[in-house]
Amino acid sequence: MLKFLRINSNITSIRRYLYIVRVLSSYGFDQALETMGLADVMVRSRRLFRKSLPDITRLTAAERMRLALEELGPTFVKLGQILSTRPDVIPQAFVREFEKLQDNVPSFPFEEVLAQIAAELRGPVEQFFADIDAVPLAAASIAQVHRARLLSGESVVIKVRRPGIVNVVESDISALMALAGLAERHVSGSELYDPVGVVREFARTIRREMDFSREAHTIEKFRDNFIKTPWMYFPRVYWEQTSRAVLTMEYVAGVKVSDEEKLRSQGLDGKLIARRGSDSFLEMVLNHGFFHGDLHPGNILILPDNVICLLDYGIVGRLDEGLKTFLTDILAAIVNRDMDEVVSLLLFAGDISDSLDTRALKRDLFNFIDGYYEIPLQEVEVGRMLMEFIEIITIYSIRIPTDLLLLAKSLVQVEGMGRSLDPTFNMVEHLRPFIVKSIREKFSPRRVSRDINQILVSYLNLARNIPRDLKEIINRVNRNKFKIDLEHRGLDKFTADFDRSINRLSTSMILAAMIIGSSIIMQTDKGPKLMGFPMLAFMGYSIAGIVGLWLIYAIIRSGRM
């Protein structure tokens, strides 16, 4: 039975793989697919999935890819949304287009909602909830949200995962991994962008997002981090009604931060909200190293007394001590116009190529800083400045941690909301005390002592391991087991084309031999006859004709006459 299920799963993945290729082909990405060695798959997928092609002649490549992702469904919409935070992987035109991707999906039936809740909580729905609103508050690709009431009378919201979405996502991840592997083998320069690594990271992100128990723990962690901050509020999680596919939280009634008219009518202070919001976000980043990664206005509610409540904790970012130090050092070096220090930090912390032109990088960074030199401090947008900085280093194929990219996008969102609430909002003023505190801690005696100890321990471990490693190398050499693995890139397509050409040449030689042999048999006029001709000669000519026509058809179809 398990073997059958595995086979069935593989068939589903193959069909999904062919469907993805067909959709990409229908949106004008034939050349990219051919580069990846998928020309034959494109022909087969068109036979299996016949559909009229959309009118794409007036669309840009970025627009066509956005439409393709929308047609491919929830997994690919999520992929596009995540890639919109990765300007180091895709061009800016694609980043801007992918930011338009929305989870425009219909809600699933209420009967399935009840069945999912009962299965996950392992009991009848009436055992956990007094009533559940049949009309969802929101529907997205992964889940939908319903308002409900507990048996104790408390008002809650239930986030319910879509039935079957896990299997769909896993099938799509399998197909994406196959495509990423082809891109690494066939597309020159793809190693700079690490397609397989990007898919692995996406798989990790979306699997975490589908696990609602993990999201519940995230809410609890944020609450613990801000336990002494009265103006930050986090919904209560009801663990008895929560599982991996069902999340039950306190219903919070508030005003969306983007509804400025309603904020004013209720006497809420926009300037105070902007200040509290920016300070809380910077505390998440620079103090806790754990921040909310999806701070668009729909995820922020304002409660009485200017209290801020955050929603939707599916996407979070993390900065360890090393990343926090790197961030503060980079910002300090940019402010001080010390380009040598900026380049040194990038070389130390970034994933760089061997062909990096440091002189050109310094020149572009100087031009970048000069563009901000005469701008008044209160007009500097830190988030956009950081995004522009990332765009520059991306041009030079310097890869930095993805959490820093998520941070830059979140900072843009926070700063934009701050300026909307308070036209005089100045993120630099809010950022300065955090950076000063971070620099002081970096050079404090306790921190310096700890860093020295870590360095000494590292060198001690290195010195301890060197004799053992040298001995291992010498032993391998003596046993003739010392191996050096070489990896070639970009030759797979050449090898495939060469094999195809050799096969065609071999087939042509066999056809020629069959024709010559049949002609010789025809001259002997011996053996059984068919319509007055030797039967063996007649069969030889027939087979040669059929195979020859097939060979001509294959050559014409490949487009290489």
Q: Which residues are annotated as catalytic?
A: 294
**In angstroms, rounded to a whole number, what is the distance separating the alpha carbons of residues 340 and 362?**
8
**In angstroms, rounded to a whole number, what is the distance separating the alpha carbons of residues 217 and 308?**
20
Tell me whether strands 246-250 and 155-161 are parallel, antiparallel or unpaired: antiparallel
Query: Is residue 286 within 8 Å of 438, Cβ to Cβ?
Result: yes
The number of angstroms, rounded, from the C-alpha of 536 to the middle of its chain's C-alpha atoms is: 62
* DSSP result, 54-115: P--TTS-HHHHHHHHHHHH-HHHHHHHHHHTT-TTTS-HHHHHHHTT-----PPPPHHHHHH
Identify which of 88, 99, 291 has the alpha carbon closest to the alpha carbon of residue 197.
88
Query: Is residue 103 within 8 Å of 68, Cβ to Cβ?
Result: no
Identify which of 317, 308, 263, 295 has the alpha carbon closest to the alpha carbon of residue 417.
295
* Helix, strand, coil share of the chain (percent; to 5): 65, 10, 25
Backbone angles phi, psi at 178, to 5 degrees: -65, -45
Burial 157-170 (b: 16+ CB within 10 A, else e): bbbbbbeebbebbb
**Tokens 């001995």 belong to which residue?**
471
Amino acid at 191: E
Cα–Cα distance list, 41 to 150, 355, 551 (Å): 53, 36, 19
Sign, Cα dihedral of 454, 458, 463, 464:
positive
**In angstroms, rounded to a whole number, what is the distance separating the alpha carbons of residues 515 and 29?**
42
**In angstroms, rounded to a whole number, what is the distance separating the alpha carbons of residues 307 and 300?**
10
> Taking the CA of residue 222 as centre, how many other CA atoms within 13 Å lie in the half-sphere pointing to its CB?
30
Cα Rg, the chain, nearest whole Å: 31
Amino acid at 402: T
**In angstroms, rounded to a whole number, what is the distance separating the alpha carbons of residues 483 and 31?**
38
Structure tokens at 449: 């002592």
> For the CA atoms of 142, 145, 149, 151, what is the dihedral angle to 10 degrees?
-10
Query: Is residue 259 within 8 Å of 377, Cβ to Cβ?
Result: no
**Tokens 């070489």 belong to which residue?**
486
SS3 for 550? helix
First to last CA, the chain: 49
Determine if residue 559 is left, alpha or beta; phi over 0 gives left, psi from -120 to 50 gives alpha, anything else beta: left
Residue 304: in which H helix or E strand, if any?
none
Query: Is residue 255 within 8 Å of 163, Cβ to Cβ?
Result: no
